[in-house]
Structure 1
Amino acid sequence: MMWRALSADWLKIRGKGLWFLVFLGPAGLLAMQGLNFGLRYDYLKNIHQADLWGGLLDNLSNFVPVALYLGGTLICSMMANVEHQTSSWKQLLALPVSRAAVFLAKLLLCLLLLAASCLLLSAGTVALGWMLGFQSQPVPYTDILRIGFLGYAAALPVILLQLWLSLAARNQTFPIACGITLSLLSLFSYSLSEWFPLNWPGLAWSSSKPWLFSISGIFLGLLVLLPGAWHFARKDVA
């Protein structure tokens, strides 16, 4: 049943701007770093001459958590708004598909869209490094994949919370405001404990044990998922 619901949701997002958002996040991050290195090329290349790719990734990593939080917020909100704006919840939930399947289908589609965005970020990082003339050093493909996907796993608690809020609220003002607030707080939370969840995407790159924070994000995400699915299954969202 979930796959039928997922197929229906896949068709619904056509022309809704979600794919544009998937491309916009990584394109914005890469354009910012392209401008950063373009304007200070000699200076940055001299600083990072021992590890040019590492310097690029370190500069990029400062903005990946915010992009994940904002991207997750907007994708979840736009996904939920497909049903809210057309008032189609009653018709959707009248179909012979369980509410749990509907919830999981929307969750899976949101996660797939964000995963596509992370993959585009990794591919674009390789392309940017080549454009900047880093071919003299080997491409650290593992680190390039890690910068997006480990942070993605660590950001799952916030992403799942945003999906819960977006599906539960017909007016998307509160979910979006909540997501923007959490995104901004993540910029100033490094002085707090490393076990503060907003820090986990950044620590999934910079920590000596990055996998610990990614696994913690997955575990906490599951804890957020359970009450979210339970609430959706019982709430009147028609």
Structure 2
Amino acid sequence: MFVSLLEAEWYKLKRNNIYALLVIGPLLTLFIGAINPEMSQMEGFNPWYILFLFMNLPYALLFLPLITGVLAGIVCRYEHQAGGWKQLTALPVTRSQIYVAKFVLIAMLVLVIQLMYGIVVYAAGMINGFEESFPFIVLVKFIFGGWVATFPMIALQLWATMHWRSFAVAFTLNVIFTLPGILAINSERFGPFYPWAQPFFMMYVEENMSGIFFVPINQVILVTGGSFIIFLLLGLMSFKRKTI
């Protein structure tokens, strides 16, 4: 039944031009990496790591957090129209299954975007004519690290979009949390504890960095994992109590 619920959610998404939304972010960052005059001035450094820095900064700090809100709004759009929530909850499925299915679908879409971004990063390097070997392991780590870091955002945005009928209200909430991340990444004291800054930290690559997702494991567990569990449980409880 859960698989059927996922298939139904995906069928509704296909009618909202979701494919264009999945490619727009990675393609925009392709121009940043492929047409960047500062790349030629970074002699003496591994060009792949410089490319990662230029491309990951706008992508992980702005696009990735914001796209979670857009996807959450689209996933819940149908239910907010013409009594869709009543139709959905009338099916032989629990509200928990509905909530988890929507979360899983958004998370899978974000993973697709991340994988496409990885391809775009490689393409940007080829356009720049890099001769150094491609650091595939590094790419895999920051692609999946950035994906995991979006889980708290997805949970909060799903909670907001299921609670408020207006997409603008839910998206504004995401913007309010996203913009302070620009300041948080420059703070050694507060940055590592701000959930919306975690995609940047998990995708910030340096040659001498090691460990899982380029950040301490306790940061992954406490900040990303902790905020994800809190937002997920609060959203689930709110949806169970929601009057439909």
User: TM-score, with normalisation over the residues of structure 2?
Assistant: 0.87
Partner of 2:112: 116
Partner of 1:234: 241
Partner of 1:21: 21
Partner of 1:204: 202
Partner of 1:103: 99
Partner of 1:181: 176
CA 159–133 in structure 1, closer or farther in 2 if over 3 Å, else same: same
The one-letter code sitting in structure 1 at the alignment partner of 2:230 is L
Partner of 1:224: 231
Contact map agreement 1:150 1:211 (CA 8 A) in 2: no
Q: 2:136 aligns with which of 141, 165, 174?
A: 141
CA 48–114 in structure 1, closer or farther in 2 if over 3 Å, else same: farther
CA distance in 2, matches of 1:97, 1:82: 18
Partner of 1:83: 79
Contact map agreement 1:48 1:55 (CA 8 A) in 2: no
Secondary structure in structure 2 of the residue aligned to 1:83: coil
Name the stretch that deviates more: 79-88 or 160-169: 79-88
What are the Cα deviations for residues 18-54 of structure 1, in whole angstroms up to 9, with x where unaligned?
Answer: 2211111111122222222xxx1xx523414430101
Q: 1:92 aligns with which of 81, 88, 92?
A: 88
Name the stretch that deviates more: 57-66 or 216-225: 216-225
Identity of aligned residues (%): 24
User: TM-score, with normalisation over the residues of structure 1?
Assistant: 0.90
The one-letter code sitting in structure 1 at the alignment partner of 2:12 is K
Secondary structure in structure 2 of the residue aligned to 1:61: helix
Secondary structure in structure 1 of the residue aligned to 2:129: coil
CA 211–71 in structure 1, closer or farther in 2 if over 3 Å, else same: farther
Partner of 1:5: 5
The one-letter code sitting in structure 2 at the alignment partner of 1:137 is E
State the number of aligned residues. Answer: 231
CA distance in 2, matches of 1:191, 1:128: 27
Contact map agreement 1:69 1:182 (CA 8 A) in 2: no
Residue ranges of structure 1 left out of the alignment (5+ in a row): none
Query: By how many angstroms is 1:205 displaced?
Result: 3.0
Name the stretch that deviates more: 141-150 or 212-221: 212-221
Query: By how many angstroms is 1:91 displaced?
Result: 1.1
Query: By how many angstroms is 1:99 displaced?
Result: 0.7
Written as runs of structure 1 = structure 2, the 5 A alignment for 1:160-179 is 160-179=155-174
CA distance in 2, matches of 1:180, 1:107: 20
Residue ranges of structure 2 left out of the alignment (5+ in a row): none
CA distance in 2, matches of 1:125, 1:13: 27
The one-letter code sitting in structure 1 at the alignment partner of 2:33 is Q
